[in-house]
Amino acid sequence: MTEVDWTLSVKVPDKINTNNMNVFLMLVFFTFFITHMIYIIMEEVIVRRHAKKQKLLNENQKIDFVGTLAASTAHEIKNPLTGIKGLVQLLVEKHPEEQDQFYYSVIMKEIERINSIVSEFLILGKPMVQTLSLYDIRSIIAELRPIIESEARHFNIEVEWNIIKEPTLVHCTKDQLKQVILNIAKNGFEAMEVGKKLRIRIHHENEWAKIMIIDNGQGLNEKDIGKVFDPFYTSKKEGTGLGLFVCKRIIESFNGTIEFSSKPLVGTTVTISLPLIKDHT
Ligand SMILES: Nc1ncnc2c1ncn2[C@@H]1O[C@H](COP(=O)(O)OP(=O)(O)OP(=O)(O)O)[C@@H](O)[C@H]1O
Ligand SMILES: [Mg+2]
């Protein structure tokens, strides 16, 4: 080998240089692209989070506003209303003619309506930190049953009761729990046609007392289900849209939860869950 006259030379073709350049440019491009994408995604997440926070803030401001409005005006409305009611009662006795009696009954009905709206406003104005007492839901239901039955007769609807035999103790305030059940039952009546059936079921599920109010009325579509607990959301001509909003506030103040599930033309189930008190000694 040493005797042969030879030289070895290597020439790197220009093509490899060009390839290297291309790879480098591609890398730069991809790095830029990926960084840009990450930046866009992060910005989107931040904007969305901000919008969600803002929405919550607006919701809370709305609730605070309603609360303040309620606290400052509800009492002022209730007092003169009681006076008007008393005077109409006097007129009812003074003018027995059929036509007059009809007018008075309309006035009384309207006064009752204002009264019930104002009562809901009063609850909104109340601070929700309150003293809860121990009650057996079954005894609350026993007191409520005649009221719901009479309301059902008014709507021409049957009520089926399915109440657990065992004690069902929970921490709550009696009148407020009654109001919640009545509000939900009334929604059921309003959603059903004559001749249908409302089912009220009380049972235990693990550590929870469950109150289920089930109707087979018109139901609600998925889009609107998300709005039912919003203040002032109503699909009714004469509704205030405060019923379920107030129910939710009350149930949450008992450390419970309330769920609304519905299917158009099939019906609606509202489930209230309250922590079951087992040992009350
Ligand atoms: N059982 C139900 N079936 C179908 N839709 C319901 C039912 N319960 C509630 N909804 C819907 O949710 C809306 C809000 O109910 P909510 O009780 O808060 O107010 P409302 O009944 O409209 O008015 P208010 O209770 O003040 O008379 C109703 O207008 C209705 O559209
Ligand atoms: Mg209602």
Domain boundaries, the chain: 13-126, 133-275
Cα distance between residue 49 and residue 158, in whole Å:
47
Torsion of CA 128, 131, 134, 140, to 10 degrees: -50
| Domain 133-275 in this protein, CATH class | alpha beta
Task: Take atom 9 of ligand 1 and give the residue whose Cα is closest.
Answer: 187
Beta strands in 44-153 (DSSP E): 133-136
Q: How far is the CA of 258 from the centre of ligand 1 (A)?
A: 14
pLDDT by position in tens, the chain (length 281): 667 777 777 766 666 567 788 888 888 998 999 999 999 999 999 999 999 999 888 877 877 777 777 766 777 787 888 889 999 999 999 999 999 999 999 899 888 878 877 877 777 666 555 788 999 999 999 999 988 998 899 999 999 999 999 999 999 988 889 989 999 999 999 999 988 999 999 999 999 999 999 999 999 999 999 999 988 899 998 888 889 988 998 899 899 999 999 999 999 999 999 999 987 66
Pocket of ligand 1 contains residue 244 by CB under 6 Å: yes
Pocket of ligand 1 contains residue 216 by CB under 6 Å: no
Length of the chain: 281
What phi-psi label fits residue 221: left (phi over 0), alpha (psi between -120 and 50 degrees) or beta? beta
pLDDT attached to residue 149:
92
Architecture in CATH of 13-126: Orthogonal Bundle (1.10)
Residues 6 or more apart whose Cβ sits within 8 Å of residue 265: 218, 219
Pocket of ligand 1 contains residue 191 by CB under 6 Å: yes
Structural contact between residues 104 and 91, judged by C-beta atoms closer than 8 angstroms:
yes
Pocket of ligand 1 contains residue 115 by CB under 6 Å: no
Task: Take atom 4 of ligand 1 and give the residue whose Cα is closest.
Answer: 219
Q: Closest ligand to 157 CA?
A: 1
Pocket of ligand 1 contains residue 215 by CB under 6 Å: yes
Our mutation pick for probing the ligand 1 site, out of 221, 244, 268, counting the most ligand atoms within 8 A of Cβ, is 244
Give the nearest ligand 1 atom to 233 CA: 14
Cα distance between residue 190 and residue 181, in whole Å:
14
Whether the domain at 13-126 and the domain at 133-275 fall into the same CATH topology: no
Q: How far is the CA of 143 from the centre of ligand 1 (A)?
A: 24
Q: Closest ligand to 237 CA?
A: 1
Sheet holding 158-163, edge to edge: 158-163, 197-205, 208-215, 267-275, 257-263
